[in-house]
């Protein structure tokens, strides 16, 4: 799924994810919290195998920051690539991976990127 910050064809999952992240994190949402935000969106109590602290100061975190910069510049972001990066970086159980894929992971990632860069909802994102 290729999207940029100017796309307005939000899906229900994207809108729901955006609103939930804004409600919980508001202006404190940061790209390095992406795995924590996924945990919240999927209502996962504890990761089976993943250790989120490993994200800090990692090459993966730098890559995510680069993707966020591209997003903020209005460039298209491939949310499937972001998902693949998360899977490559982290150790997730088969059950967690299945939950991601059945639960619209790319749309949720789009909502997270929107929430990080527009916590004040200047885009007026809401349910129709």
pLDDT digits (tens, 9 = 90+) for 43-63: 988 877 666 655 666 788 899
Write down the residue that tokens 């790209």 correspond to.
Answer: 31
The per-residue DSSP string of 84-121 comes to HHHHHHS---HHHHHHHHHTTHHHHHHHHHHHHH-TT-
Query: Is 79 among the domain residues?
Result: yes
Question: Does residue 6 lie within any of the structural domains?
Answer: no
Structural domain range at position 62: 11-117
Asked whether residue 2 is assigned to any structural domain, the reply reads no
Q: Determine, yes or no, domain membership for 4.
A: no
Q: Is residue 127 part of a domain?
A: no
Q: Please provide the average confidence, as pLDDT, over all residues in the chain.
A: 89
Percent of the chain with pLDDT over 90: 62
Task: Tell me which H or E stretch contains 2.
Answer: strand 2-3
Total domain count for the chain?
A: 1
How long is the chain? 128
């Amino acid at each position: 799924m290729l999207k940029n910050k100017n796309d307005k064809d939000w899906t229900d999952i994207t809108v729901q994810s955006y609103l939930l992240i804004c409600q919980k994190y508001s202006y404190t949402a940061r790209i390095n919290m992406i795995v924590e935000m996924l945990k919240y969106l999927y209502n996962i109590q504890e990761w089976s195998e993943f250790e989120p602290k490993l994200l800090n100061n990692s090459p993966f975190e730098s890559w995510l920051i680069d993707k966020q910069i591209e997003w903020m510049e209005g460039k298209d972001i491939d949310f499937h690539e972001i998902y693949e990066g998360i899977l490559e970086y982290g150790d997730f159980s088969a059950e967690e991976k299945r939950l991601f894929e059945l639960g619209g992971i790319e749309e949720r990632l789009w909502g997270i990127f929107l929430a990080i860069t527009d916590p004040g909802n200047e885009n007026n994102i809401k349910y129709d």
